[in-house]
Structures are given as structure tokens and as C-alpha cells.
Structure 1
Amino acid sequence: MYETILYEVSEGVAVITMNRPEKFNAFTEQMNKEITAALKQAQKSPEVRCILFTGAGRAFNAGQDLGDVSGGNVDFGGFLRKRYNPMILQFQKTEKPIVAAINGVAAGAGLSVALACDIRLASEKASLVNAFVNIGLVPDSGGCYFLPRIVGIGKALELAMTGEKISAEEALRIGLINQVYPAESFQDDAMAYARKLASLPTRGIGLIKRTMYKGLEMGLEETLEYEAFAQDAAGSTEDHKEGVTAFMEKRAPRFTGQ
């Protein structure tokens, strides 16, 4: 079904793998479109309760394939509006947890895509670099939105202005990623993390994701009102009923994602 990515579902987890290892999984127009389509597919599938997003080979993603845009003047604004913006927006529109498994270098737009995921896990051998400044460009694909919200404006400006490559350990220290795992067990550790999320109340997690992102742009009063709306929706789910029943019966809940 896809040519530049792999898509498979196992134990409630949809694994989306960027699959151009010979090019360090650099983006092409086709890959942009296929990632967007795969996220929509996972959103619609009732068997998918978490998405694990990773790269094949030694890299997570090295950014835009410059060979795909060489040979003339580039309409940078139109390029982003057509190819990257719809993809990044789909990460937020997908109301299931999305975990980035950063197996190697994440650079430029590859880093931006990792930031658009809800949770970031990294191999100890991974590295991250906001590489846009190295070719005289501005962080795009949500990089100017997500990065300062994750690490704070001062650190975000430093990373963007210097183009400094940082290690997984440093990324963990500044809060850019959530967990670092040994390289030899990284795939298993990342899958175990995703499977745990897949066992939790999927609709509730989707409402958490939606409400928190909206809260970034709203005042307190608006956020309180939206929390009340979201809680009404969460309180009507089967998983809420199961959680309360399990608590009263002093047993582990068995969530179904409904």
C-alpha cells in the first residue's frame, strides 16, 4: 500500500516506519503524503490504540531530501503549505497517542516531526539537531511552535540559532525527550512503552491530547470550560465505567478503548 513507509499493527500498536534507509529516511513529497495517509488510517482503525513512529536503518529522519528540491528556484512557502503543513496538522488531529522512537539522528524537519509526536523515546546513540540555520533557513514543520513549548524559549532559540547537535542524554536533561534506552534493546523497549499506552483508555487519552493542545492557546477560563466539556465526553465512555468498577472491586482495570 505504501512505498516510502512501512505500516503494521501489532497488539493495538500501529508502527509507522519511515523506510528510505539509504537516504537516512529523508522526506520526499511521496513520504509526506504517505505519513499523512497512514496517520488517518490509524485514527480510523478501532484496533489501533497507539502509534509508534520510527525510522528504518541507522537514522530516524535526516530532514528534507535536498535532491528532491534541487534544480531551480523553490517557492518555500508554497512547498511547506502543500507538503509539510498538512502532515504536521495530522499529528495533532490524530486523537490517539503518538510515540516517536528516535533510533538515530533526527535533523531539520525530522526533528520537527519528532516534536509533533506526543512522547519522544530515544536510543542512547540518537542525536538531535535543529539544522535549518546551517543552510540559512528557519525551523519549519512546527519547529517554531513545538520546540519553545517543550524546552522553553531560551533553550529553543539557542538550539535553533546555533544548529548545535545534542546527544540523547542532553536531550533528556533539557526535557526534549522523555526516555533514553540502551541501543541494543531500543526497539523492544519502545514497543513495550507503546503497548502500555495501547492498554489504557484510548478515548480518554485522545481527549487529554485535544484539551492540552487547546489549553496552550486559551486562557484559564476558556480552558476550564473546555475541561468540563471533555470530562462530560470522557465520563460517558465504557472505559470510565470499567475504571470505576475495577477500583471498587479492587482489581486491575481491563480497558477496551471504548
Structure 2
Amino acid sequence: MAEQQETGVDSAQEVVLYNVQDGIATVTMNRPEFNNAQNSKMTYALDAAFRRAVDDDEVKVIILRGSGKHFSAGHDIGTPGRDINQSFDRASLWYDHVNKPGGEFLYVREQEVYLGMCRRWRDLPKPTIAMVQGACVAGGLMLAWVCDMIVASDDAFFSDPVVRMGIPGVEYFAHAFELNPRIAKEFLFLGERMSAERAYQMGMVNRIASRENLEEETYSIAQRIGKMPRMGLALTKQAINHIEDLQGKRAGMDAAFAWHHFAHAHNELISGDKLGGYDAKAMADSQRTPGEVRSGEAQNK
């Protein structure tokens, strides 16, 4: 909401940082106090940063990372900076969602800021690497999955717990491509954390490093990729993405997006809440292992 933007949260800091060095653009999500939960302000800032990297001929590789303890706790469903009712200069040709009735409100917004942007980022012509530490939860998965490679710390974990809301996974529904379909069902049905080691075994993660060596390992890979010719990298990426789409990735995602929004409408009808009665705290609590103490910094996962 607009009035929530006036609380001072996010207003005094850049929610996305951008830096280029030695042909590598680093795009950093910068809401560590909320575990890099993504509000619209962050999403549009990410879009601008990726565009900036694509337009810069000196940039060969892009690294996406999160500041603080966690990569990303997912979509912002409960911080003071939540801005779901705020208008932004849109990146697609979809009209503004604000003040639209019924299911149109969320359907239009999520076509723009979730499905549309993630698809565009996946197809940008330069190699991208997600550097993941700590939590990569729900909407955080979407940010990691659009990248060409994922390098994770050994203490990283991945989860999509939104089935407990009655929703069939996040909007960028790549689960059955990132994981074997039977493992994808387990991942969603249980909503439990998947360790970096198991994600590596499933082929979702390319490399694992200790938290201390994560940055060194990620940038070393980026430097080696950056020695390849730009056009060769772009065409290779385009070819592999095209094969995924021929296998049904895009069509399947369209269907899953429709089911996702049926779930929102169903939740609204039976409970009055599009998220099935879950708020940020409840979703964070659902992700904790037995005996894990709740901390203030984790409440927005």
C-alpha cells in the first residue's frame, strides 16, 4: 500500500544493488532485514538491473545474489514495505492491476511482476548465475530457477510450501523441469526443506561450496564463462531454453498459472483470504524444523 511506503522501510535504502567488475555484473537483493522478501519495488528494481546488464557490452555474465543471511524468503506477504496495492511503471503491455475487481486484481499483477518478469529474465541473452545461501523459499525459487546456473552454500535450503495455502506451487511453475516429476510432487506435497546436497543430487544445483567459499566459487565460474564468445553463449542459452519449451515448459507453466489463480479465487470464496488464511509468520513457522527458535529476522520467510 502507498501508505506503507511512507513508514521508512525500504525508503532509505536501495532494495537492489548493482555493480560491474571484470565483465561480471552483480545484482544484489538488498532487504536483509526481511530476508530479501520481494515486494514490487524490488521486482521492478531487479528488472531494471538486468536490463542495465544486458545493455552493457562490457558485461559477459550476471550474478544474482542476496545480502544478509538468506538468498530470498520469497514474495513479500507481510512486511511493512508490502506494496501490492501500489502502481508502478509496467514492464509489459499488461494494464495496471490497481483498483481492478475480483480475481482480475491478482491475475493482472502476477502476469506482470511474477510470471512475465521471470520469463523475460530467463530468456535474457547473457549467462546468469544464482548465488544461493540460506533460505531460497517459494518466490525465491523463481529467482534462482530463471538463472542458468545455481551455486549454493552447503547450508542452503530450498522449499515451496504454498500448497498448505491450497495453491499448486509458485507462479513460475518450473518444478517438474527442475526436479524429477515424482520428486517435484514430494517437494510440493510435503512443503519441506530440500537441502543443497539433495538439490545437487536432483540436478537443480550445479555446485555446492561452504558459506566461506561460496563467493569465490561463484565468481570463479563466472570468470571462466566470461572467456567464451558472447554470441556463442547467447545462442547456446537460446538453444537449450528452446528445447525446454518444446518439452512443454512454457505451455505447462501457462496451465499451472491458471490453476494457481483458480486457487486464489477458491480461497477467497471459502475463507475470505486469497492466501488461505496464512500470513508471513504462519508460513515461516511452517518451515521451521522441530526445536528451531523463531527469530525476528526470520519472520518473513
Deviation at 1:216, TM superposition (A): 2.2
Distance 1:112 1:216, change over 3 A: same
CA distance 1:178–1:200, shift in 2 (3 Å): same
Corresponding residue for 1:90?
A: 120
Where do 5+ consecutive residues of structure 1 fail to align?
A: 220-258
State percent identity of aligned pairs: 28
Please show how residues 30-179 of structure 1 align to structure 2 within 5 Å. Answer: 30-67=41-78, 68=82, 75-142=105-172, 144=173, 146-179=174-207
TM-score by length of structure 1 reads 0.78
C-alpha deviation, 1:76, in angstroms = 3.0
Q: Deviations over 1:160-190 (max 9, x none)?
A: 2211101111111111111100111111111
Structure 1 residues 140-160: Cα deviation after superposition (integer angstroms, max 9, x where no partner): 342x2x221122211112212
Whole-Å Cα distance in 2 between the matches of residues 31 and 119 of structure 1?
22
Q: Distance in 1 between matches of 2:83 and 2:168?
A: 17
Report the alpha carbon displacement of residue 131 of structure 1 after superposing the two structures with TM.
2.0
1:8 aligns with 2:19: yes
Distance of aligned partners of 1:30 and 1:70 in 2 relative to their CA distance in 1, 3 Å threshold: closer
Q: Does residue 210 of structure 1 match 2:238?
A: yes
Q: Does 1:24 align with 2:35?
A: yes
Q: Distance in 2 between matches of 1:205 and 1:156?
A: 29
Q: Distance in 2 between matches of 1:113 and 1:58?
A: 17
CA contact (8 A) 1:36 1:86 kept: no
RMSD of the TM alignment (CA)?
2.1
Higher relative contact order (CA 8 A, sep 6+): 2
Counterpart of 1:167, as a letter, is S
Match of 1:251 in 2: none
Match for residue 209 of structure 2?
181
Structure 1 counterpart SS, 2:41: helix
The code of the aligned residue for 2:122 comes to: Q
- CA change 1:3–1:212 in 2 (3 A) is same
**CA shift at 1:138, angstroms?**
2.5
The structure richer in helix per residue is 1
Structure 1 residue 70: Cα displacement:
8.0
SS in 2 for 1:41: helix
Give the deviation of 1:55 after TM superposition: 0.3
- Aligned pair count? 216
Cα pair distance change 1:56/1:87, threshold 3 Å: same
C-alpha distance in structure 1 between counterparts of 2:124 and 2:227, whole Å: 17
Name the CA shift for 1:70/1:15 in 2 (closer, same or farther; >3 Å): closer
Maintained 8 Å contact 1:115/1:147: no
